[in-house]
Structure 1
Amino acid sequence: MSWLTDVEDDEYDEYDESAIRVRPNPKGNKPRTKIRPEHNDSVTGRVISVDRGRYGVIVDEGTPKEHRAISTRARELGRKAIVTGDFVDLVGDTSGDDGSLSRVVRVQPRSSLLRRSADDTDAVERIIVANADQMLIVVAAANPEPRPRLVDRYLVAAFDAGITPILVLTKTDLADPSKFLANFAGLELRVIRSSTDEFPIAELKEMLDGHTTVAVGHSGVGKSTLVNALVPDANRAIGRVNDVTGRGRHTSSSTISYRVGSGWIVDTPGVRSFGLGHVNPDNILRSFGDLAKIAEGCPRGCTHLPDAPDCAIVEAADRGDLGEIGKLRLDSLQRLLATLA
């Protein structure tokens, strides 16, 4: 009987957890944990440039200690985008000395996001800049010819992001921009005019002071020339317009922020298309406050386009309740909504 007991004990010893040998960890790695450090010692900075995984960040902004630090992304951020204009929290060496490198551990909540998609059918968005409150839409009166529909797209993106659009007309000495500007007569759109070689720098600097302003525009319209006039040491590359195609050559290849007074101007690469697949049409209507109030009487799902049945805005226009300016604003709204449709 004792022999059987010994056999049974031997069998159970074979599966005894205490008898299992634990392989030593030669590297001394700590076990992985989901607990992340709080980084209470982090400092806050503004991202002013992004280049191949390195971020130029202004630290101690607005103080005598203001300086530029170079940072990389912390692993815990995962795939969260870090873009020009972001306010981020940094740890590590934020001194900005040669060879120093800090890490971005947090992206602070954004007040606005200017986005575009590859085309109108693509809902995947690309963030251009964060926390901007103004948009300079730079358009040439000629060479290259102005494109009202592209400006419509910029306006849609600005209204969707809650950013105030401002139209800057360059090269007005080459052509009269009146016909082009008539497309936007119904909008409360501030317009700045300039000639080929001269910008109203004082007016522009006053307008940009205290704001974060993103500059957008078709290649060759003079956007980088404008930035260089505002910030002489920016040295943004300037291209010329092709005499055969009438198109500008892409020169700016990155999005960079420059100080203008107490504000910032963000220069972006020139684009020939601006996809709006991510935009919510309701955001466009909200930018037309007077018409949005009338639209409260529209049926659900109303497109507010001329053929929309029982549209309260269209009916108000037909009755003459909107007035001349109201009709112009409705025309602008419908054109922008048709851009999305």
Structure 2
Amino acid sequence: MAQGQIRKALSGYYYVEQDGELIQCRGRGVFRNRGESPLVGDVVDFTREGESDGYVMKIHPRKNELVRPPIANIDQAILVFSVKEPDFNTILLDRFLVVLESFHIEPIICLTKMDLLTDEELGQLTAYIEDYKKIGYEVMTTFKEDASLMARIQPMLAGKTTVLAGQSGVGKSTLLNTLIPELNLKTGIISQSLGRGKHTTRHVELIEVCGGLLADTPGFSSFDFDTIEKEELTACFPEFLRISEGCKFRGCLHMKEPKCAVKSALETGDIKEYRYAHYEQFLQEIFDRKPRY
């Protein structure tokens, strides 16, 4: 029995990396019987059958797992958001951040197209950037011809498993192409020829780059709050979590409860109004969610 990591899943085969070698493995039927499925990113025990074939026998406990794309054990996500065309959108950004926090994936915010902003817009955006930095998020900004972006991103990839996420049409594929030129993703042309809202089905693969692993699927698409319970939402807003220790009631939802430290921080400006408004909206979405059986 040997141990390795699934780097690619394709047509019922799992390609397990061990000491620089890829072994093509099948999953044992026991996984189907348990309703389990090995995922790209899984650390697994496997047995060899011949030179380059084998069977996945055991899946090690996961740090996290995503549904779309189906991938496990992600350390961080680079969130690519444009500031113009499409315009910067704090509620969409917060939606991404909340989902990432719920999976314990560290977000890195990357804002593109800064050169398109007017001076007034730049002032407003700078205030938002300072807000997110104060919360504790890494924020990078990039202009149209900004070669330094790659130099800033590459050290962040070392020793980590990273995915890309963000708005449509903001350059995730271009970013991937720059990091891994051999991928040669067809940027823009594919979406134009297929029509809006359609996508090509591509397998998920982890590729070694800059001393880390990068998922070659640009982003993930599951940004509802299906897996988050109302009591867990506070933990997905880091500044709320820190302040909520001062709430009178344990499990305070920061709505109408008396002596709520979060509501007090909102009044003093220590919590931003737009962040609280998004928290309220997301909490309502969780309340309105159909029960799961």
Q: TM-score of the superposition, structure 1-length normalised?
A: 0.68
Cα drift, residue 156 of structure 1: 0.9
Match of 2:83 among 129, 141, 158: 141
Q: Which residue of 2 aligns with 1:267?
A: 216
Where structure 2 has 5 or more consecutive residues not aligned to the other structure, the ranges are 285-293
Q: Which one has the largest radius of gyration? A: 1
AA partner of residue 3 (structure 2): T
Where structure 1 has 5 or more consecutive residues not aligned to the other structure, the ranges are 1-41, 61-65, 116-125
AA partner of residue 139 (structure 2): V
Q: How many residues align?
A: 272
Q: Which residue of 1 aligns with 2:281?
A: 338
Q: Which residue of 2 aligns with 1:51?
A: 10
Going from structure 1 to structure 2, the CA distance change for 1:265 and 1:318 (only over 3 Å counts) comes to: closer
Equivalent runs, 1:47-126 vs 2, <5 Å? 47-60=6-19, 66-78=20-32, 79-93=35-49, 95-96=51-52, 101-115=53-67
Secondary structure in 1 aligned to 2:181?
A: coil
Equivalent runs, 1:1-341 vs 2, <5 Å? 42-60=1-19, 66-78=20-32, 79-93=35-49, 95-96=51-52, 101-115=53-67, 128-175=70-117, 178=122, 179=124, 182-183=127-128, 185-186=131-132, 187-196=135-144, 198-199=146-147, 200-240=149-189, 250=199, 253-269=202-218, 274-288=223-237, 291-296=240-245, 297-299=247-249, 301-305=251-255, 308-317=256-265, 320=268, 324=269, 326-328=270-272, 331-332=274-275, 335-336=278-279, 338-341=281-284
Going from structure 1 to structure 2, the CA distance change for 1:273 and 1:141 (only over 3 Å counts) comes to: farther
Q: Distance in 2 between matches of 1:283 and 1:127?
A: 23
Q: Distance in 2 between matches of 1:89 and 1:191?
A: 38
More helix by share: 2
Going from structure 1 to structure 2, the CA distance change for 1:311 and 1:143 (only over 3 Å counts) comes to: same
Q: Distance in 2 between matches of 1:83 and 1:155?
A: 23
Going from structure 1 to structure 2, the CA distance change for 1:209 and 1:144 (only over 3 Å counts) comes to: same
AA partner of residue 58 (structure 2): R
Q: TM-score of the superposition, structure 2-length normalised?
A: 0.78
Going from structure 1 to structure 2, the CA distance change for 1:298 and 1:85 (only over 3 Å counts) comes to: farther
Cα RMSD, aligned residues only: 3.2
| Identity of matched residues, % | 29
Cα drift, residue 294 of structure 1: 3.9
Cα drift, residue 95 of structure 1: 4.2
Q: Distance in 2 between matches of 1:257 and 1:313?
A: 43
